[in-house]
Amino acid sequence: MKKIHIIGLGLLGGSFSLALKKVKPEIHFTGYDKDAKNLQDAFTLGIIDEAKDKADPDTDIVILATPADSLEGILKESLDQAGQDTLIMDFGSTKAKLCQSVANHPKRSQYLAGHPIAGTEYSGPKAAQEDLLDKKVFIICEMEKTDLHLKGKAYEVLEALNMKLRFMDPEEHDNQLAFVSHLSHISSFMLGKTVLDKMEDDKNVFDMAGSGFASTVRLAKSSPAMWAPILSENKKNILEALSMYISNLSKFRDKIIADDVEGLYLEMEKINAIRDILDLK
């Protein structure tokens, strides 16, 4: 492993580079970001060793870490330009549409559909963290469609980063992520909006906010440039998740209207089971 090229030098692309540089300092990192400041910051911070518009023909791995709606075009272009021993791997949060878009590409075997389950509410190269990916789950879709030799390159770097591999169907991935990731971001954004709307009438409302509010609304600080495309790309699954969520909110509201204290208690007690589930992770 000698060369890795990263397209998209934000939180995930930057964290991947910083972590791998620590354990494999011999790798030469090149990279590109359409934002000139991000590109300069990535070089200054040591995320990349050299800024380049495209990968060299002998690059081992090209990482695509750009917003979801840009990945299809960049993936096709990267495959078109890839040397015969280059693996293209993406970090996108949606998979079904992307995998389908290159299903018949002549270099499909040089693509690995991946998704690291890691992140923070911050974005850009300055948000990158050396330990962000450590012991996190990395999902691989359509593993059988990637060339065995090239797949070995991905395993080499993911193992070096202590990542836990999980294998999923692209449609299953998108449906499950809609519930456990995409819906939580929508909830956080809408909680933030609700309190901001309240602030128009009561300027002191944020004085009442404690740690519970801060932790619940944390994701509302996430990048709209990243999340608006995700919500569009995974529309069908997100609408299913939202419908179930709204239904549950309505039923909970009805219990409050009816002064059904016992019903509220039993409902929350049942939901407390999520503690045991999350503690086992």
Secondary structure (3-state) at 250: helix
pLDDT tens string 128-147: 999 999 999 999 999 999 99
**pLDDT score at 1:** 82
17 and 153 housed in the same domain = yes
Same domain, 193 and 211: yes
Nearest to 35 by CA among 8, 71, 74, 6: 8
How does pLDDT run across 217-264, given as a tens digit for each residue?
899 999 999 999 999 999 999 999 999 999 999 999 999 999 999 999
Tell me, yes or no, whether 47 and 186 share the same domain.
no
Q: Which domain holds residue 69?
A: 3-168
Last residue of a domain, one of 138, 168, 198: 168
Residues 146 and 190 in one domain: no
In this prediction, residue 215 has a pLDDT band, given cuts at 50, 70 and 90, of: confident
Say whether pLDDT at 281 is over 60: no
Q: Domain holding 189: CATH number?
A: 1.10.3660.10
Res 128: pLDDT: 96
Which residues fall within 8 angstroms of residue 149, CB to CB, at 6 or more apart? 85
Last residue of a domain, one of 168, 196, 227: 168
pLDDT(95) > 70: yes
Q: Above pLDDT 90, what percent of the chain?
A: 88
Rounded distance between C-alpha atoms, residue 49 and residue 12, angstroms: 17
Q: How high is the mean pLDDT of the chain?
A: 94
Q: Report the alpha-carbon distance of residue 225 to residue 231 in Å, rounded.
A: 11
Question: Measured between alpha carbons, how far is 55 from 199 in angstroms, rounded to an integer?
Answer: 49
Q: DSSP assignment, residue 10? A: S
CATH of the domain at 164: 3.40.50.720
Cβ–Cβ under 8 Å, residues 216 and 191: yes
153 shares a domain with 184: no
